[in-house]
Structure 1
Amino acid sequence: MLVSDVMTAFPAYIRLGSSIRRAAEVISVSEVGQLMVLDHDGRFIGSLSEEDLVRAMLPGFDDVTEAGGTLADAFQLFLDKGRALAERVVDPLVVRDAATVSPGDQLARAAVVMLDRGIRRLPVVDDGRLVGTVSRADLCRAVIYHS
Structure 2
Amino acid sequence: MTTARDIMTPDPVCADSDDSVLITAATMREQGVGALPVFRGNQLRGMITDRDIVIGVIGQGDDPSAVTAGDLAQGEAVTIQADDDVDEALTTMTEHGVRRLPVMDDGRLVGVLAQADVARALPDPKVGKLVAALSSTP
TM, length-normalised to structure 2: 0.76
**How far apart in 2 are the matches of 1:5 and 1:25?**
29
Are residue 143 (structure 1) and residue 122 (structure 2) matched?
A: yes
- Provide the C-alpha distance between the structure 2 equivalents of 1:4 and 1:20, rounded to a whole number of angstroms: 29
Matched, 1:105 2:84: yes
| Mapped partners of 1:139, 1:94: distance in 2 | 23
Q: Which residue does the alignment assign to 1:69?
A: none
Match of 2:102 among 123, 127, 131: 123
Unaligned runs of 5+ in 1: 60-77
Which residue of the partner structure matches residue 25 of structure 1? 26
Q: Once superposed, what is the RMSD of the aligned Cα atoms?
A: 1.9
Once residues 95 and 106 of structure 1 are traced to their aligned partners in structure 2, the CA distance between those partners, rounded to angstroms, is: 27
Instruction: Give the match's secondary structure for 1:85.
Output: coil
Counterpart contact for 1:44–1:128, Cα < 8 Å: no
Aligned residues: 121
Identity level (%): 30
Asked whether the 8 Å contact 2:37–2:44 carries over to 1, the reply is yes
Are 1:120 and 1:135, in contact at CA under 8 Å, matched by a contact in 2?
yes
Q: CA shift at 1:24, angstroms? A: 0.8
SS at match of 1:23: helix
What is the deviation of 1:116? 2.9
Q: TM-score, normalised by structure 1?
A: 0.72
Higher relative contact order (CA 8 A, sep 6+): 1
Instruction: Using the TM superposition, give the Cα deviation of residue 39 of structure 1 relative to its aligned residue in structure 2, in angstroms.
Output: 2.2
